Structure 1
Amino acid sequence: MAKDEIVDRYSSLARAALSGERIVDCGSAGFEEGCFGAAGYDDTAEVPEGAVRASLGCGNPLAVAELRDGETVLDLGSGGGIDVLLSARRVGPHGRAYGLDAGVDMLELARRHAQQAGAINVEFLHGTIEDVPLPDRSVDVVVSNCVINLSDDKAAVLAEAFRVLRPGGRFGVSDVVTADEAAADSERRETVERRIGCSAGTLSVAGYQELLGRAGFVGIRITLTADHGEGVHSAIIQAAKPVIGPGMEIRPMRDSDAEQVLAIYQAGLDSGHASFETVAPSWEGFVAGRLPHLRYVAADTETGEVVGWVAASTVSARPVYAGVVEHSVYVHPGCQAHGIGRALLTAFIAASEDAGVWTIQSGIFPENAASLALHQALGFRAVGTRERVGCHRGTWRDVLLVERRSTVIAC
């Protein structure tokens, strides 16, 4: 179903709700079984009855959003406004809750409910979830309830969610997913999707994880809830934008970062304590030797200047080493001792575990005390020393081998 058709369908539901009708977006059995609508909420006493009746979600994202006083929340596809109103109550008068919807009629319905609730810290915006009309890094939490599955460009939706979140911001949504790739192509699965209203098709769990990681999210968790048959489930999806200090952002590395990344690399090599290499490779060589999904930069949010990066390489093509990577982390010499390296490595560890990595390893010169201290602080341990392993600038050098074993990745 095309985007305009989806908006038209939900607009008709909103008009029905505005006239006092009870609206349903999927087979009545789904509502009767408590899988959809307001059945997942236990704190709706102070929400207008109309907002409760107009709920079309597949769960309760606020149950895992851990909203705090004073935070700013954005609900993607806010519908009749139930999640916005509940969010507004939780963040308190010093916080703010935005609702975003593409349907003018649905916005009218939501604004009516906000007025009935006496909510003054809410605002409903007209727009699409693929192009959010809010500035970069302007919200603390993004929630959504059974809406992202309706988009035909889910990568754009997740990229926009990442863009508008502040560093350390949280992503917590209810959505519909398929539990495995085998179910993702079945005709019976499509029948289930149509029955529960997922007109644009669902992502598999693995597909959702991939798109979240590609957008830059870490700490990804997908918890299946209701089973709708044929591998289709409601689910809670949680993730976070990497934490870093004020004025900075950690995001996936881009080709447009090439010049700055290589300049930081060369500055590290020039120090004499970063690597046996003496000249940074070409960008083509850099990219060819590193995994595409585990490359991040720290950037100044005002200027866009890259001030540090972290990346990983495989250690072997043998399947038994599939979860073992070797990493490097570099910070601009003028920006060291500001926690940037720690933030980059912390984000990298989380992303590597999302990707199923069980061992991160590296070689560090014993003279590089700052790097050793950083790695030890984040759970790396020295496992041995390769003595006089290489002649660097006319001097034999030792290398300490360090590694970090994940405690969450099972064999």
Structure 2
Amino acid sequence: MAHDEIIDRYSALARAAAAGQVVADCRPDAFEQGSFGASGYDDTSALPEGAVRASLGCGNPVAVAELRSGETVLDLGSGGGIDVLLSARRVAPYGKAYGLDASPDMLALARRNAEQAGVTNVEFLHGNIERVPLPDRSVDAVISNCVINLSDDKAAVLAEAFRVLRPGGRFGVSDVVVDGHVDPARRLAAEQRIGCVAGALPVDEYRQLLAAAGFVGIRVMPTADHGDGVHSAIVQAAKPAAGPGVEVRPMRETDAEQVLAIYQAGLDTGQASFETTAPSWEGFTAARLPYLRYVAVDATTGQVLGWVAGSAVSARPVYAGVVEHCIYVHPGCQAQGVGRELLKTFIAASEDAGVWTIQSGVFRENAASLALHQAAGFRVVGTRERIGCHHGVWRDVLMIERRSTVAGT
């Protein structure tokens, strides 16, 4: 369904709700089964009837968002405002809830519902979920209820969610997902029965898009089976935590110059690697996995403070869950927690990707690197004695590894 058609459709539903009608985006029996609409909430008694009547979601994202007093939350595709009102009460008295919707009719309905409910710590914004009208790092949690699947650019939606979240911020949505690539006839049958199935992603693809946006700790948990390979689901993830003024995000092509400069600075210490000259960007990317690449940046200037990346250890299938990593921090930013946050992100992302072993080699003399890794759960598994000659000196390399307690168990 085209973007304008979606807006027209939900605007009509908003007008119907405002007129006192019970609206539904699915067949009536879906609501009767307790899968969609207000039936997904435990208690709506304190909400205006109009907000309950206009509920068109497929779950209760507020219940899984772990909202706390004083936080700021954003609801993508807020509709009649039911999740915004519930969130506003969770974060009161000092927190705030934003609702974003592309339908002026839905916004008008939501504002009226907020006024009737006497909830003042809310703000409803007009805009698209692919382009959120909020600053970077301005909210603590992003929620949504059966809306992201309607977007024709889900990668943009997830990138925007990542952008507006503060480091450590949470992504918790209810959405519709499908098992693998559902046969077109089965998908059509489900769409005729459940209005918001159109555009639903397979679970694995949803996870991949979240990871590409930079999220870690990704969980997609089906909550209801609607037949024909279609499920309601809770989707949770987090933006990597970082120290004050620092953000950890996926490495980009535009980071190349700074990444390689930090690489060279590390090599120049004589303690990072047997290499003496950083490769070209082409060589760097060719030697590393296309995912599991992160940078820590100054949140104000965008300067790269450090990076981490993974490489495959073998093309043999048995080693599919084993990667080698390297991590480098700008000389002026060491002992400030940058390496710790990068390594935490890399570990979480690797486990999301099904990696069960991360390994590397460290010079015996590199005490700072050894301490960093041991604090993150790595252990020394052996020593390769006099494995290579470096600047005229034969050196030992300690082999370290971290076995996941999540993946491969």
- Using the size of structure 2 for normalisation, the TM-score is 0.99
Q: Residue 225 of structure 1: SS of its match in structure 2?
A: strand
Letter in 2 for 1:297: V
Q: 1:62: how far off?
A: 1.2
Q: Could you tell me which of 317, 332, 346 is aligned with 1:348?
A: 346
Q: 1:385: how far off?
A: 0.3
Aligned position for 1:227: 225
Letter in 2 for 1:62: V
Check conservation: 1:77, 1:99, Cα contact below 8 A: yes
Q: Residue 217 of structure 2: SS of its match in structure 1?
A: strand
Q: Residue 25 of structure 1: SS of its match in structure 2?
A: coil
Superposed CA deviations along residues 166-199 of structure 1, whole A, max 9, x for unmatched, are 0000000000001223x2x432123203421136
Aligned position for 1:73: 73
Q: Indicate the larger mover: 189-198 or 59-68.
A: 189-198
Aligned position for 2:236: 238
Aligned position for 2:12: 12
Letter in 1 for 2:96: R
Q: 1:54: how far off?
A: 1.0
Cα distance in 1 for partners of 2:408, 2:184 equals 30
Cα distance in 1 for partners of 2:246, 2:386 equals 39
Letter in 2 for 1:168: G
Aligned position for 1:295: 293
Check conservation: 1:60, 1:145, Cα contact below 8 A: yes
Q: Residue 85 of structure 2: SS of its match in structure 1?
A: helix
Q: Could you tell me which of 250, 256, 265 is aligned with 1:258?
A: 256
Letter in 2 for 1:332: H
Cα distance in 2 for partners of 1:410, 1:174 equals 28
Letter in 1 for 2:79: G
Aligned position for 1:175: 175
Aligned position for 2:201: 203
Q: Percent identity at matched positions?
A: 76
Aligned position for 2:99: 99
Aligned position for 2:314: 316
- Using the size of structure 1 for normalisation, the TM-score is 0.98
Query: Are positions 1:394 and 2:392 aligned together?
Result: yes
Cα distance in 2 for partners of 1:113, 1:68 equals 23
Cα distance in 1 for partners of 2:45, 2:375 equals 47
Check conservation: 2:190, 2:197, Cα contact below 8 A: no
Q: Residue 350 of structure 1: SS of its match in structure 2?
A: helix
Q: Indicate the larger mover: 44-53 or 221-230.
A: 44-53
Check conservation: 1:151, 1:200, Cα contact below 8 A: no
Q: Could you tell me which of 288, 304, 307 is aligned with 2:305?
A: 307
Query: Are positions 1:408 and 2:384 aligned together?
Result: no
Q: Residue 189 of structure 1: SS of its match in structure 2?
A: helix
Cα distance in 2 for partners of 1:178, 1:200 equals 10
Superposed CA deviations along residues 29-63 of structure 1, whole A, max 9, x for unmatched, are 10010000011211322111211111100001111
Cα distance in 2 for partners of 1:204, 1:344 equals 29
Aligned position for 2:356: 358
Aligned position for 2:323: 325
Cα distance in 1 for partners of 2:200, 2:230 equals 8
Aligned position for 1:370: 368
Aligned position for 1:125: 125
Check conservation: 1:361, 1:402, Cα contact below 8 A: yes
Aligned position for 1:52: 52
Letter in 1 for 2:129: I
Cα distance in 2 for partners of 1:24, 1:35 equals 12
Cα distance in 1 for partners of 2:193, 2:320 equals 39
Check conservation: 1:99, 1:125, Cα contact below 8 A: yes
Q: Residue 307 of structure 2: SS of its match in structure 1?
A: strand
Cα distance in 2 for partners of 1:35, 1:66 equals 22
Aligned position for 1:380: 378
Aligned position for 2:42: 42
Letter in 2 for 1:198: C
Q: Residue 198 of structure 1: SS of its match in structure 2?
A: helix
Letter in 1 for 2:61: P
Check conservation: 2:189, 2:228, Cα contact below 8 A: no
Cα distance in 1 for partners of 2:261, 2:353 equals 28
Cα distance in 2 for partners of 1:70, 1:358 equals 38
Q: 1:301: how far off?
A: 1.2
User: How is 1:129-148 mapped onto 2 (pairs within 5 angstroms)?
Assistant: 129-148=129-148
Cα distance in 2 for partners of 1:397, 1:200 equals 60
Moved over 2 A (4+): none
Q: Residue 124 of structure 2: SS of its match in structure 1?
A: strand
Aligned position for 2:265: 267
Letter in 1 for 2:351: E
Q: Residue 172 of structure 2: SS of its match in structure 1?
A: strand
Superposed CA deviations along residues 217-239 of structure 1, whole A, max 9, x for unmatched, are 00000000110111110000000
Cα distance in 1 for partners of 2:16, 2:260 equals 58
User: How is 1:83-94 mapped onto 2 (pairs within 5 angstroms)?
Assistant: 83-94=83-94
Cα distance in 1 for partners of 2:408, 2:273 equals 32
Cα distance in 1 for partners of 2:219, 2:107 equals 31
How many residues are matched?
409
Check conservation: 2:307, 2:327, Cα contact below 8 A: yes
Letter in 1 for 2:245: G
Check conservation: 1:149, 1:175, Cα contact below 8 A: yes
Check conservation: 2:177, 2:230, Cα contact below 8 A: yes
Q: 1:110: how far off?
A: 0.2
Check conservation: 1:74, 1:142, Cα contact below 8 A: yes
